Chain A
C-alpha cells in the first residue's frame, strides 16, 4: 500500500480512537450511553444524523446507479433533503423531542411503547429492529469490508473483523457519545471529500453547463436494451410508466426517500439535544450536508459517462463490466471513475470519505440493535427497566449485536447490499411511520389502531418481499422453493418496491381501526405537548 495513504489512515484511526476515549470518559450513566446525555451541540447532532443517514452504499451504490439511470435520481436527493432533513427535523424531530422527553423515553421502541402505553408495541418494535437491522448493518459491513480489502490488500475475513471490532470498540465504551463524536469527525471528512469531488468533476468537464450538455449529447448512445426498458438518456426521466420509471420512482424515491423518516437509529438522534432550538439550528447543517452527499453522488455518477466516453469511447456501464462475469457492475462505476479521472492525492481523500461513511452508519446501527436487545427487550421482559447495572447490560447487548451482524456478513451474498438497504428502510416505514406520525399528531389514534398498523405494515412488507417483489423474492428463493416460481405476480407489481403498497395500507389500517375503537386516551396528547420537564403527573 502507498505509504501516504497508510499515514492518512493511521492519523484518521488515531483521531477516531481519541474521540472514542473522550466519549468513554464522559459516559457515566445510562442516559449518557443511550442518548449521549441529552445535551449535544446542534452541529454534532446534525452531522451524526447526516453521516448515519448516508452510508457508503448511498455514495458508491446509488452514485453508480446514477451512472446507469442518469440524473433522474436527483429526485431522491430532493426527497433526502426536503423529507429526510426539513420534514424530519421540523415536523417530526421537535415533537419527538418534546413528547419523548416528557415520556422519559430513551430509545425509539420505548418511545412508541410509552406513548401508546403498550408493552406489546415496545417489544414488537424492538424485535423488528433486532431482527431486521442486522441485515442492513451486514449490508453496510459487506460494502465497507470489501472496500478495506481492496485498499489495504488484506483478506476479506480480516477486513470484516477489523471493521466490526474497531467500530464496536468505540460504541461499546462511549455509547451514543462515542457514536456522535466520531460521526461528527466522519461527517466533516465526508463533506469536504464530496465538495472536492463535485468541483473537480465540473472543472474537468469544462464547467457546469458544458458538462451537462456533453451528457445530453450522449442520448443517442443509450444501448438498445436500456432504451427498451424506458431509458431516454442521462439528462431525461425514463419513459412514463416504463420499467425504469417504476424503478426510479418506487424503489429509489419512495423506498429510500420516505423510508428515512421512521428509522430508529435516526429518530434517537432527536433525543440527544436539549431543546427544539438546537434542532432549528441543526436543520441548517443537515440540509447543506445532504445536498453535498447524494446530490454530488448522483450528478457525478451520471457525468462519469462523459468522462468514460472521452477517455475510452464507452459508457460508464460498459467501462464497469466485470472481467470474470462479463456483466456490468454498477458498484464499480464510482471507484473506477475516481481511479481514472481524479489525481492521486484525491484518492486518499475519497478513501477516507468512504471509510468514514461506512463507519458512521455502522456505529449508529450497532448502537440501536444493542439497545433494542438490552434495554427494550432483556431489561423490559425481566421488568428491570433502569434497575441493576444497565450500562453493563447495554454493553452486552452491543456485543450480541456485533456478533449477529458479523455472522450475517459472512453468510449474505454480495449482491444483497442495495436490496437489504431499501428493504430495511421500507420495512421501517411501513411498520412504524403511520403509528409514529399519529403518536405525535393525531390525538384520536388508539393503541389497537397502532398495533394493527404496525403488524399489518410489517407482514405486508415481508409477504411482498418474499413472494412478489422480484429483486427480493429471487434473492431470497423462498417463493421458488415453495411454488417453483421466482415471483407470484406480474409486471408492474414485480418492480414496485414493497413500501409503495405496504405503507399506504398500514396508514389506512391505522385510521380505520382507530376510528372503530374506543378513543379512551385522547387527553394524553395535550399533557405531553407541554414544555420539556413541566409535564404533570397522570393523577
Chain B
C-alpha cells in the first residue's frame, strides 16, 4: 500500500494520519465541552 510493501510500515503511515484525524475529531466534537 502507498508503494510500501511491509504492512508494519504502511500501517504506521496510516496510523500517523489516523491519530491526527482522531485529535481533530475529538477536539471538534468536544469544542465547547467543559469536561
Chain A interfacial positions (CB closer than 8 Å to B):
70-72, 74-75, 77-78, 81-82, 85-86, 90, 94, 208-213, 215-216, 232-233, 235-237, 275-277, 280-288, 290-291, 295, 299, 531
Contacts and interface: CB of A to CB of B under 8 A. Distances in A.
Contact of B23 (A211, A235, A288): A288
B33 A287 contact: no
Interface of B: 2-6, 8-9, 12-13, 15-17, 19-24, 26-28, 30-35
Nearest to B8: A237
B2 A212 contact: yes
A287 B9 contact: no
A237 B6 contact: yes
A82 B6 contact: no
Contact of A71 (B4, B19, B24): B4
A85 to B, nearest CB: 6
A290 B12 contact: no
B4 A216 contact: yes
B22 A86 contact: yes
Contact of B27 (A70, A82, A283, A299): A283
B31 A280 contact: yes
B19 A281 contact: no
A105 B8 CA distance: 43
20 contacts: A72-B8, A72-B12, A86-B23, A208-B3, A212-B2, A213-B3, A235-B3, A236-B6, A236-B8, A276-B34, A276-B35, A277-B33, A281-B27, A283-B27, A283-B30, A284-B23, A284-B24, A284-B27, A287-B27, A290-B20
A81 B2 contact: no
Given A82-B22, A282-B27, A291 B16 contact: yes
Contacts of A284: 23-24, 26-28
Nearest to B28: A284
B3 A74 contact: no
A77 B22 contact: no
Given A208-B2, A235-B9, A287 B24 contact: yes
B3 A212 contact: yes
Nearest to A235: B4
Which 7 residue pairs are nearest across A and B when measured between Cβ atoms? A287-B23, A212-B3, A284-B27, A213-B3, A81-B19, A74-B12, A280-B30
Given A213-B3, A280-B30, A282-B27, A291 B20 contact: yes
Given A86-B22, A280-B27, A283-B26, A209 B33 contact: no
Contacts of B30: 277, 280, 283
Contacts of A277: 30-34
A94 B35 CA distance: 8
Contact of A216 (B5, B27, B32): B5
A65 B22 CA distance: 27
B9 A74 contact: yes
Contacts of A299: 13
Nearest to A275: B34
B11 to A, nearest CB: 9
A233 to B, nearest CB: 8
A247 B33 CA distance: 41
A295 B16 contact: yes
Given A212-B4, A216-B4, A280 B19 contact: no
Nearest to A219: B5
Given A276-B33, A280-B33, A287 B8 contact: no
Contacts of A287: 19-24, 27
Contacts of B16: 74, 77-78, 81, 291, 295
A34 B19 CA distance: 31
A288 B22 CA distance: 10
Contact of B19 (A86, A210, A232): A86
B20 A288 contact: yes
Given A237-B6, A277-B31, 15 more contacts: A81-B16, A82-B22, A86-B19, A86-B26, A208-B3, A209-B3, A212-B2, A233-B6, A235-B9, A236-B5, A237-B8, A275-B34, A276-B33, A277-B33, A288-B23
Contacts of A209: 2-3
A233 B15 CA distance: 20
Given A90-B26, A277-B34, A284-B27, A237 B20 contact: no
A290 B31 CA distance: 20
A478 B15 CA distance: 41
A284 to B, nearest CB: 3
Nearest to A210: B3
Contact of B12 (A71, A85, A282): A71
A288 B31 CA distance: 16
Nearest to A285: B27
Contact of A78 (B3, B19, B35): B19
A212 B14 CA distance: 14
A132 B24 CA distance: 34
A291 B20 CA distance: 6
A217 to B, nearest CB: 10
A8 B2 CA distance: 37
